[in-house]
Structure 1
Amino acid sequence: MNAQTAPFRADVVGSLLRPDSIRKARLARQTGEIDTRELRRVEDDAIRHAVESQCQCGLQVVTDGEFRRAWWHFDFFEGLEGVEGYEADQGIQFNGVQTKSRSVKVTNKLGFGEHPMLEDFKYLASVSGSATPKMTIPSPSVLHFRSGRKAVSAEVYPDIDDFFDDLALVYQQAIKAFYEAGCRYLQLDDTVWAYLCSDEQRALVVERGEDPDQLANAYARTINKALEQKPDDLVVGMHVCRGNFRSTWISEGGYEPVAELLFGSVNIDAYFLEYDTDRAGDFAPLRFIKPGHQKAVLGLVTSKSGDLEDPEAIKARIFEAARFVPLDQLCLSTQCGFASTEEGNSLTEAEQQAKLALVVQVARDVWGE
C-alpha cells in the first residue's frame, strides 16, 4: 500500500457536520419556500466546499459529508425497491438521548433500481479533483438487525434465508452500479458487529427470539455473497460503529466476540474500527486481521468532542496496535463520522477541521506518507 491507494494512511470515515446553509435550505424545502432543485443547488455548493476543506487538511480521500441525507442508513434503504420508511413508535435509544422516530421495513421483494445516490456519487466525483471520492452506504446487515424478523414481511419472505439471499443480490447490483458510476472506494457502515460484542445488545436479540451467533453467521454469509462479483480494483471498507448520535453511543465491548468471524472470514479490504475510548476494548482482536492485503484503520481520534488529542499519545497507541498486526497493515482515521444524522455531534466545524488535520499529521509522522 502507498499513499495513492485506498485505504489511505490518513483516511476519513464519512459524515461531516451540516453547515447552516443546508439546515436552512432543508427547512425552507419542508415549508415550500424553495423547490427540490434549489435545495440540491445549495447542497452542491456545500459539498464542493466540504471537499475543498478535506483537501486543505491534507487528505487524499474525500466524501460528500453525507450532506444530502438526514440519516446515515435510512435514506439509502428507502431508495431500495421493496423497502418503506415509516414513523416508528419511538426513536433509537442512545446513551441518555433518543433519535427521531424513524425506521424502515421490508414490504415487498427487494430490488436495486435507479437509486438516487448514484447521482450523488457522480457529483462528488466531479468535484473531487485529484482526491479519491469515497462513497458510504449502510451494510446489508443493518437492514435486518435493528428490528429483526418483524421488519421483514413474512408474506413476502416466509423463509428468512430467502430474504438474506435477495439482500445479497441487491448489494451485488448496488456495488456494480456504483462501480459503473466511477466509484473505486466504497464503505459499508455497520453498527451490527459492534452490537454483537455488547452483552446488553445480545440479550435484546435473545429476548426477541433470535440467536445472536446465528445472526452473525447469516450476516457474514450475506456480506460475502454481496462481494462475490466485486471488481479487483474496487476497495471495499467497513466501518464498525458503536453508535454515533449527538456525541452519544449505544454499545460497549471489545471486538473479541466477533473478531475471528468478522476479520478472519468476511472478505472486506479494510476495517474502520473505533478505538477512541475504553469501550472498544484492547487491540488483541486485531490478531485475526488477515496477513497481507487486509487493513485495519484505527479510529483513535474521536469525532464526539472537539478536544484535540495529543499526537504523541495517538502514535503510541498505533505502535501498541502494531504488536498484533504489522504496522504496514494499519492506517488512521477518526473513530466515526461527525454527523451520522443531520443533527451532528457536539463540536464546531473548526474543531472538526482540526481533527482531520491531526489525522493527517500523525499519519505522516508514523508512515512518512
Structure 2
Amino acid sequence: MIIPTEPIGSIPRPPELVAALGADHPDDAQLERLFDAAVQDTVRRFEATGSPVITDGEQRKVHNFWTYSVHGADNISPDGFQIPFAGGHTRRMPRLARAPFRYQRHADGYLAQAQRYASVPLKQAIISPSALSLMYPSEGLPGYSRDQFLADLLDEHETEIRRCLAAGAYKVQVDFTEGRLAVKLDPSGGLLTSFIELNNMALGRFSDAERARIGVHTCPGADHDSTHSEEIDYADLLPSLFQLKAGSFYVALAREPDPVRVLKVIRQNIKPGQRVFVGVTSPIDPAIETSELVRDRVLLAAEYIPLDQLGTTDDCGFAPFCDDLSTSRDTAFAKIRARVEGTALAAAILGGSR
C-alpha cells in the first residue's frame, strides 16, 4: 500500500534572490534571471528527494504567501491587519484603501513557469478568501460595501482555482493559517465561524470532482522560527475545519506536545471522502528529523486515522515570508527527504500488517 505524501509550499529562497528583492531599486532583468534560476534549482532538488508531488517552492511569490495576489496594487495601504508572532516580531497585511478589490496576478502563472522544469506532479498553494477578507477596513469604504468586497473577493478566488486546475495542478491547496489565529483573536469562535462560512461559499462553487483536487492547510504559523497561535487548542479549531467542503486537509502536527490528543480529535471529526495529511516534519525546528522518527509518527497517526484517509506532509512551508532566512535550503530538502523516506518505511510496515 502507498501512503500519499505532499509538501506544503514554500522553500527558502537563495540568499542572492532575497538580497535582490530587498534592494531599494531592484533590477528587473536581474530579478527575472534569479527567479528563473531559483525555480529551476528548487524543482531539481525537490525531485531529488523522491517526493512524488512537489511545488515551485513559492520562489516567485514576492514578499510572502499571503499577499502575492495583491502586491503592487495602487489601491492598497501597508498599514493593515497586524499579526504578532511569539518571537516578538509582527507581520502586516495590506489594507484596501479604495474600491475595487482585484487580484494583480493569479497563481497559475507560477505553476506554468515551474512546469517547464518539472517531471513529477506539481501542486499549487494559494491564499484563502478568509485571509484576504482581513484587508477590508473596519470602518468600511464609501460606495463599496463589505458585501460587494466579498463578492469580488470570491470571484477572484474562484477564478484563481479554476485557472490552476485548468493548467494541470495536481492539487490546489488553500492556505488557511489564519484559522487557529482566529480562535486566538476571538475565543468566542465567531471569527472562525465567519471564516469557515466564507471559505465554504468559495468551495461551494465547485463540483465534487473539483473539490477532490482542492485541499486546505492549517498551521499555527511559521516565520523566523516562531508561530502566531501555537498555544491555541486544536480542539477549538478542528471540528470547524472539517466542515469545509474540501477533499484534503493538511494539519500541522509534528510540534504538538500531545499528538495523540489531536489525532483523537481528528478521528472524531473527519468525514468520509476526506483525507488528512498529518505534519511529520517541523520547518521551524533546526534539527533534521530522521526517517525512523517520521516512520514512527506515521505509525502513530495510523492508529487513529483510517489508512485510506491518511497522508503525510510538512507542518508548514519552510519560508513563507521572503526575508526569512532562518532555515537553509539544505535543511529544508533534508527534512523533505526524511518525510518521503519515513512515509515509505511506515507504508511498508502497514502494508505487511494487513
TM-score range, shorter chain: 0.7 to 0.9
Given that 2:266 and 2:305 are in contact with CA atoms closer than 8 Å, whether structure 1 keeps it comes out as: yes
Question: Contact 1:109–1:156 at 8 Å: present in 2 too?
Answer: no
User: Structure 1 residue runs of 4+, over 4 Å off?
Assistant: none
Q: Distance in 2 between matches of 1:330 and 1:78?
A: 36
| Residue 267 (structure 1) shift | 0.9
1:238 aligns with 2:216: yes
1:154 CA drift (Å): 3.6
Matched, 1:309 2:302: no
**Preserved CA contact (<8 Å) 1:191 1:241:** yes
> Match for residue 164 of structure 2?
178
Does 2:226 correspond to 1:261? no
Q: Is 1:94 the counterpart of 2:85 in the alignment?
A: yes
Shift of 1:88: 2.2
Equivalence for 1:136: 125
Q: CA–CA distance in 1 between the matches of 2:137 and 2:131?
A: 14
Is 1:353–2:333 an aligned residue pair?
A: yes
Amino acid corresponding to residue 201 of structure 2 in structure 1: K
1:62 aligns with 2:41: no
Deviation per CA, 1:46-103: give whole Å up to 9, x if none: 1011001010000121211111221111122337x8x844232896321123145552
Superimposed CA distance per residue, residues 10-36 of structure 1 (whole angstroms, 9 cap, x where no aligned partner): 2111001110231233245x335x2x2
The two structures have a TM-score, normalised by structure 2, of: 0.86
Alignment length (residue pairs): 342
- The counterpart of 2:228, out of the listed 250, 253, 256, is 250
- Give the whole-Å Cα distance in 1 for the aligned partners of 2:153 and 2:115: 27
Find the aligned partners of 1:236 and 1:337 in 2 and give their Cα distance: 17
Following the alignment from structure 2 to structure 1, what is the Cα–Cα distance between the partners of residues 114 and 75? Answer: 26
Q: Look up the SS of the partner of 1:127 in the other structure.
A: coil
Query: 2:105 matched to which residue of 1?
Result: 115
The residue that corresponds to 2:117 in the other structure is 127
CA shift in 2, pair 1:84/1:315, >3 Å? farther
Greater mean alpha carbon deviation, residues 296-305 or residues 320-329: 320-329
Deviation at residue 235 of structure 1 after TM alignment: 1.0
Q: Which residue of 2 aligns with 1:209?
A: none
**How far apart in 2 are the matches of 1:366 and 1:219?**
35
Change (3 A) 1:85 1:111: closer
Give the distance between the partners of 2:275 and 2:97, measured in 1 at CA: 33
Structure 1 length normalisation: TM-score? 0.82
Structure 1 contact 78–84 (Cα < 8 Å) conserved = no
Percent of aligned pairs with the same amino acid = 23
Q: CA deviation at 1:224?
A: 2.0
Residue of 42, 45, 49 corresponding to 1:53: 45
Q: Distance in 2 between matches of 1:349 and 1:245?
A: 15
Query: What is the aligned partner in structure 1 of residue 266 from structure 2?
Result: 286
Unpaired runs of 5+ in structure 2? none
Aligned residues: CA RMSD: 2.8
Name the residue aligned to 2:195: 219
Determine if contact 2:295/2:342 at 8 Å carries over to the other structure.
Answer: yes
Q: Which residue of structure 2 aligns with residue 17 of structure 1?
A: 12
Query: Taking structure 1 as reference, are residues 274 and 96 closer, same or farther at Cα in structure 2, changes over 3 Å only?
Result: same
